[in-house]
Structure 1
Amino acid sequence: MTVTYVIDGAEVTGLESFWQVIGAAVNGPGGYFGSNLDALADCLRGGYGTPDDGDFVIEWRRHELSRRALGQEETVRTLQRRLERAHPDNRAAIQGRLDAVRAGGGPTVFDELVRLIEEEAPGVLRLL
Structure 2
Amino acid sequence: MKKNDWILILFVAAVAGIFLVALLLRPEQAVRRVEISVDGELYGRYDLKEDQEISINETNKVEISGGTVRMTWAKCPDQICVHHKEISRDGESIICLPNKIVVSIIVGDAKTEDESPDAVSN
- Taking structure 1 as the reference length, the TM-score comes to 0.19
Structure with greater proportional strand content: 2
- Taking structure 2 as the reference length, the TM-score comes to 0.19
Structure with greater proportional helix content: 1
Q: Which has the larger radius of gyration?
A: 2
Higher relative contact order (CA 8 A, sep 6+): 1
